[in-house]
Amino acid sequence: MRKAVNIICGILAEVCALAVILLGAYIHFLTS
């Protein structure tokens, strides 16, 4: 059970990191 939670958290962390990068690029594109 704990392993599944770790896998889910890892996936969520990667998705969040990707979303932050995309959001940063989008804001940079808008403000440039």
**Residue 22 has what pLDDT?**
98
Q: What does the alpha-carbon distance between residue 22 and residue 29 come to, in Å, rounded to a whole number?
A: 10
**Residue 3 has what pLDDT?**
95
**Each residue's pLDDT tens digit, 3-30:** 999 999 999 999 999 999 999 999 999 9
Both structure tokens of 32: 């440039």
- Please indicate, yes or no, whether the overall pTM of this predicted structure exceeds 0.75: no
pLDDT at 1 over 90: no
**Number of structural domains in the chain:** 1
Domain that residue 11 falls in = 1-32
Q: What does the alpha-carbon distance between residue 16 and residue 19 come to, in Å, rounded to a whole number?
A: 5
Please give the helix or strand (H or E) that residue 1 lies within, else none: none
